[in-house]
Structure 1
Amino acid sequence: MFWIKNGRQYREQTSQKISWGHWFAFFNIIWAVAIGSRYAFLIDWPHTFLGRLYFFISILGHFSFIAFGLYLLVLFPLSFIIKNERTFRGVSVIIATIATTLLLVDTEVFSRFNLHLSSVVWNLLVNPENGELSRDWQIFFTPMPLMLLAQMLFSRWAWYKLRSLERQKWIRGVGIMLTGLFITTHLMYAWADAYLYRPITMQKSNFPLSYPMTARTFLEKHGLLDKQQYEIKLDQEGRPDSPMINYPKHALSYNNVANKANLLIITVSGLRQDAVQKEKMPALTEFAQQATQFTNHYTTGNNSNSAIVGLFYGLNANYTDSLLNNKKTSVLIEKMQQDNYQFGLFSATNFKPSIFRQALFHQIKLPKNTSNKRKIDNLSAMKNWQVWFEQRSVDQAWFSYLNLDVGELTRQQHLPTLEQEQQFYTQQLSQLDQQINSVLTTLKAHNALENTAVIITGEQGYSFQKTDDELLNYFAPEEIQVPMIVAWKELNTGVEDKLTSHMDVIPALMHDLFYVKNTDADYTQGHNLFNQTQSFNEWVLVANYRWDVIITPDGTQYHIDNKGNYQKYNRTYQKVVSRRPPLGLFLDVYQQNSSFVEK
């Protein structure tokens, strides 16, 4: 009888704790939704009814699932293990208080860095190397005692009112509704992801621990989604979860310029840093000796789109998708259009990279790209430029952009051996050297160099015997370190070995050619490339949609991805064991990545 009585008592106590746990979980769902509503003031607010409806559905569905999931995974098992109800309720209160406090801290992390808490972010917050930042974050733990008190009061009240609460029938309907909202959230996102409906997909990372369901594979399998069309649209419009961009932050104003300067920019996709030497490109090497050559220069990404973003926008490559999605042109292009510059735009690939047609030159009529596999023709691009230059008005300032390619041209040959590929690449460099020299010779023949800034650089370098898949997250020096040659009357000739980036070009042009009044931070993340007296970058950033790669002056690379994975490489791109990540550098990168995000 003793065992029967004791067993019945245990079951009754356990049943009470489980019933109390349901109400305690419901109380914390309300807490989580209340705190989580702060994200509505931190995100890019959707402009459509469906996007806003999704936000309200997702906040209720997501936080109810997280709170109830925490109960099922932690408190529910503890109700069987901890026999004393006061101890059980005390443990539950402590766990709930810690969880709600972390959620509050996460809202502030998201506000500052557009990221959620992770092991790397947490280390940044408590990093003893930055005591001021650590003190700032301690403020967000001050509400913890009040949260603890509220949890304790509800815990005690709910326990003594348990019988009355158990008679409430509406709670079951609320539970069914919240479950339905959670399912609806994922179904809506799966639809939006398949059809690239951005007012919903841009909310993918709004909340912590949010992993919305996608169903592209299922839809493709059943013929409801065309994979090829989807990838084309993705390339043109950018990744659907990209945030809205605030660029420039403020309207730009300029000083009056009596004699407007001309501007010629030549970019070569696949031009390695070591290509500019007398044996390979004698004409360009000679021109570089009469100009300013930046020998420790890096592109902003390992593909054409991300490189152009750095060169023409002065932003790091993390903003590529946002620029595509929002069809933002560069402040440089806008200024020259306002000043009625003559535009001469020429491309060996017919402006194949999507950033040209979708964002940078979307307001300018370009030749139609009739095929994604269009032949690369550097010679025709150069000749077309010469025709335009001869026909231009000599009384009007001009801007010309010549986009050439040697990397994809080499890769398309699919040469089987390293020796054959290197030989073909060298041959193409020789032809490219002659073509660029023809452009420079034409400028000299018309005495146009005196009032023309000439910039010659690579979009990205070239790595031999690599496939497209291997290059996707490959950041070796031969891939990202490129030549930067600038001829401008106000620059001294010679070699500059300071660490520089594509992002440094825009502030240089805006200051030295167009005399902008605004501070650099209003429209760029770079430094003035032409200012040879100022201290230059302590690091530069190369990125793609997954990796941020920090490069220091000695060539050391620190890689961190969007999941917090960290790797270190030396200047020869050999992986180095590193147990202590450079938290200060990561903090700077996170702040830079969020500096132009619209909030």
Structure 2
Amino acid sequence: MFWFKKSKQTFGMQYREQTSMKISWGHWFAFFNILWAILIGSRYAFIIDWPETFFGKLYFFISLLGHFSFVGFALYLLVVFPLSFIIKNERTFRGVSVIIATISTTLLLVDTEVFVRFNFHLSSVVWNLLVNPENGELSRDWQIFFVPMPLMLLVQMLFSRWAWYKLRSLERQKWFRGVGVLFTCLFVATHLIYAWADAYIYRPITMQKSNFPLSYPMTARSFLEKHGFLDIEEYNSTLEQEGRPEAPAIIYPKHPLTFATSNTEKANLLIITVSGLRADALQNMPNLHQFAQNATQFTHHYSSGNTNNTGLTGLFYGLNANYTDSLLNHKTPSVLIEKLKQDHYQFGLFSATNFKDTLFEQALFNGMKLPTSKRIQPSNESAVKNWQDWYLKRDETKPWFSYLNLDLSDLMHAQKIDNLADEQALYQTQLAKLDEQLAKIFTQLNESQQLDNTAVVITAEHGYVFQASEQDVINNFSDEQVQVPMIVAWRELASGKEDKLSSHVDILPALMYHLFWVQNPDSDYSQGHNLFDFTQSRNWVLAANYRWFAIITANGTQYHIDRKGNYQKFDRTYEKQASDRPPLGLFLDVFNQSGSFIEK
């Protein structure tokens, strides 16, 4: 009995001693892999838009060390540390730890390349894209990044063995504790600095929000507001004016544009947008319907977004709406507006809402004096009357560009009608009034005989959803919200209906080519295709906002996917559907296109 108790006591001491050694070894093994992760993670410095300020650059290195030291230690704490108690054999324990570490570092290496190509980090959807057998060529490309895996495994095994046999010596190293304290301080500093930068919109730091995988920097807006350090109304106003602070810098256009010379007279351009004009509204607008009969009507057309700013981004920039915040941040001009200025066009800009949408003053017409109405409540009537006055006084010897920004959406939301029938009746009333105003424009153009040399584009930033507040439609991409009319009257186009799938991003390359004879390929300055080229067809178009990509296919099915790889499927009636098998090839096309103008 005494022998049994003594043996049990000896076994307990051996178990505690071996467990203590495995835990101590685990600390050094985790430190070794943290250094590996920092070394591989430094590649992101060559991928991201490098900050221009010293403080922004310093933050990158602080976050690099702080983030990967935390992730490495968290992996040890959640996986390796429990295994030191579960697996009794030290060789088996070290072998399992080596395998886990090798897989983790390999995935980090793959993530850096994913970020290069798609501006996304690894997720379940992205992983399925990489291993999808339907994309054999892509799968072969990614296999290259698993080639170093055996070498990494060998290095991990060598360090594992060396650290185990040198453990007594390593335990006497006094500097190791200091390194742990340093990494902890850097991790805390990463989040505190980001919280400050987010509250005061310091973009050289906030633009680094998504630099690293598994990175979720801390924000403290509510805390700062509660203690009087942040005016949340002023903060939200700044975001609305300048875009979200994490938006990346972009290169637009990718290359300087060149134009062919032409002996023909320069064409005039009139663009009319009506916020809230639904695709089915034309049947209740006789004047606009008649105008469309003598023009080209694109009946399967979608806006680039579900808000005014995102719709204007596609229309005037030819870019997907996920670039809206970047355009606001950097006050990026439109290549169309720059070309019009270069050719000395007369500008006539008029708005029923006093150009309240931030993209106008902040980027699209930045540096230009925008006319505003003296009326307390601007209206479509006053905007059209101002356009008529300008049109009569214009210099007839020079080409002109006019943009008329009309509105239905704000007029409807201002009424706050709870009854569906009353809201629909009011919408029809507003359509009739709008149709009367458009008739005045058509009459004036006809009387001046300008239509032969004038391209007229009539569309909407977005549609209108009945019984939905402005807050309700933030993430709504139903046909009622994003399918809009697109009517183009231009001498080179035959009148009639065209039912090909089209998007707002397609109008800019059409105008740049047919009106200004641009020589560059569409991809240099747009993500769309020439709308007037009827030989081209699309399988999908993209509507977006700051969070979601809404992929709309030709049959009306939609796939929504966010930057974290979450996705949803909707049928043509906008009812959510179960989807176990995402369309990986379609997602790959979207990912490749979505980051094509991001500066790297």
Per the normalisation by structure 1, the TM-score is 0.98
SS in structure 2 of the partner of residue 559 of structure 1: strand
**Deviation for aligned residue 1:577:** 2.3
Paired position in structure 2 for 1:587: 588
SS in structure 2 of the partner of residue 286 of structure 1: helix
* Matched-pair contact (CA < 8 Å) for 2:349–2:371: no
Deviations 1:306-342 (A, max 9, x none): 0000000001101000100010010000011011110
Deviations 1:210-258 (A, max 9, x none): 0000000001111111111111100111111111111100000001133
| Range that drifts further, 301-310 or 436-445 | 436-445
How far apart in 1 are the matches of 2:115 and 2:374? 42
Determine whether 1:89 maps to 2:90. no
Determine whether 1:63 maps to 2:64. no
Paired position in structure 2 for 1:316: 320
* Matched-pair contact (CA < 8 Å) for 1:352–1:369: no
* Matched-pair contact (CA < 8 Å) for 1:314–1:505: yes
- Closer, same or farther: CA 63–409 of 1 in aligned 2, 3 Å: same
Q: Which amino acid aligns with 1:84?
A: N
How far apart in 2 are the matches of 1:83 and 1:572? 58
* Matched-pair contact (CA < 8 Å) for 2:462–2:483: yes
SS in structure 1 of the partner of residue 501 of structure 2: strand
* Matched-pair contact (CA < 8 Å) for 2:207–2:245: yes
SS in structure 1 of the partner of residue 305 of structure 2: coil
* Matched-pair contact (CA < 8 Å) for 1:376–1:409: no
Q: How does 1:84-163 map to 2 (within 5 A)?
A: 84-163=89-168
Q: 1:272 aligns with which of 278, 292, 295?
A: 278
Q: Which amino acid aligns with 2:129?
A: L
How far apart in 1 are the matches of 2:542 and 2:163? 53
Instruction: Give unpaired runs (5+ residues) of structure 2.
Output: 1-5
Identical-pair percentage? 68
SS in structure 2 of the partner of residue 267 of structure 1: strand
Deviations 1:133-181 (A, max 9, x none): 1111111000000000000011111111111111110111111011000
Find runs of 4+ consecutive structure 1 residues off by over 3 angstroms: 367-371
* Matched-pair contact (CA < 8 Å) for 1:275–1:281: yes
Q: How does 1:229-244 map to 2 (within 5 A)?
A: 229-244=234-249
How far apart in 2 are the matches of 1:562 and 1:543? 12
Paired position in structure 1 for 2:286: 282
How far apart in 2 are the matches of 1:440 and 1:222? 57
Deviations 1:283-327 (A, max 9, x none): 000000000000000001010000000000001101000100010
Q: How does 1:149-298 map to 2 (within 5 A)?
A: 149-258=154-263, 259-277=265-283, 280-298=284-302
Paired position in structure 2 for 1:382: 384
SS in structure 2 of the partner of residue 567 of structure 1: strand
How far apart in 1 are the matches of 2:356 and 2:243? 15
Paired position in structure 2 for 1:364: 368
* Matched-pair contact (CA < 8 Å) for 1:376–1:405: no
SS in structure 1 of the partner of residue 509 of structure 2: helix
**Deviation for aligned residue 1:562:** 2.3
Paired position in structure 2 for 1:559: 560
Q: Which amino acid aligns with 2:556?
A: G
What root-mean-square deviation, in Å, do the aligned CA atoms of Structure 1 and Structure 2 show? 1.1
How far apart in 1 are the matches of 2:304 and 2:27? 51
* Matched-pair contact (CA < 8 Å) for 2:274–2:461: yes
SS in structure 1 of the partner of residue 300 of structure 2: strand
Paired position in structure 1 for 2:40: 35
Deviations 1:386-433 (A, max 9, x none): 111111111111100000001110111011211111111111101100
* Matched-pair contact (CA < 8 Å) for 1:324–1:359: yes
SS in structure 1 of the partner of residue 277 of structure 2: coil
How far apart in 2 are the matches of 1:64 and 1:570? 44
How far apart in 1 are the matches of 2:555 and 2:418? 34
* Matched-pair contact (CA < 8 Å) for 1:351–1:369: no
Paired position in structure 2 for 1:7: 12
How far apart in 1 are the matches of 2:536 and 2:318? 18
**Deviation for aligned residue 1:505:** 0.2
Paired position in structure 2 for 1:399: 401
SS in structure 2 of the partner of residue 549 of structure 1: strand
* Matched-pair contact (CA < 8 Å) for 1:538–1:553: yes
Deviations 1:484-507 (A, max 9, x none): 000000001100000000000000
**Deviation for aligned residue 1:354:** 0.5
Q: Which amino acid aligns with 1:275?
A: A
* Matched-pair contact (CA < 8 Å) for 1:283–1:434: yes
**Deviation for aligned residue 1:580:** 1.0
**Deviation for aligned residue 1:564:** 2.0
Deviations 1:43-80 (A, max 9, x none): 00000011000000000000000001100110011111
SS in structure 2 of the partner of residue 550 of structure 1: strand
Determine whether 1:332 maps to 2:336. yes
Deviations 1:72-127 (A, max 9, x none): 11001111111111111101100000000000000000000000000010011111
Paired position in structure 2 for 1:422: 424
Q: Which amino acid aligns with 2:192?
A: L
SS in structure 1 of the partner of residue 452 of structure 2: coil
Paired position in structure 1 for 2:543: 542
**Deviation for aligned residue 1:370:** 10
**Deviation for aligned residue 1:467:** 1.4
Q: Which amino acid aligns with 1:274?
A: D
Per the normalisation by structure 2, the TM-score is 0.98
SS in structure 1 of the partner of residue 451 of structure 2: coil
How far apart in 1 are the matches of 2:330 and 2:501? 31
How far apart in 2 are the matches of 1:474 and 1:228? 25
SS in structure 2 of the partner of residue 273 of structure 1: coil
- Closer, same or farther: CA 370–221 of 1 in aligned 2, 3 Å: farther
Deviations 1:413-470 (A, max 9, x none): 0112111111111111011001111111111111111110000001100111101221
SS in structure 2 of the partner of residue 496 of structure 1: strand
Paired position in structure 2 for 1:447: 449
Q: Which amino acid aligns with 1:492?
A: A
SS in structure 2 of the partner of residue 12 of structure 1: helix
Q: Which amino acid aligns with 2:530?
A: N
**Deviation for aligned residue 1:572:** 1.5
How far apart in 2 are the matches of 1:18 and 1:480? 57
Q: How does 1:523-538 map to 2 (within 5 A)?
A: 523-532=525-534, 534-538=535-539
How far apart in 2 are the matches of 1:288 and 1:460? 19
Paired position in structure 1 for 2:479: 477
Determine whether 1:468 maps to 2:470. yes
Paired position in structure 2 for 1:574: 575
Q: Which amino acid aligns with 2:203?
A: R
How far apart in 1 are the matches of 2:418 and 2:86? 65
SS in structure 1 of the partner of residue 404 of structure 2: strand
How far apart in 2 are the matches of 1:319 and 1:333? 18
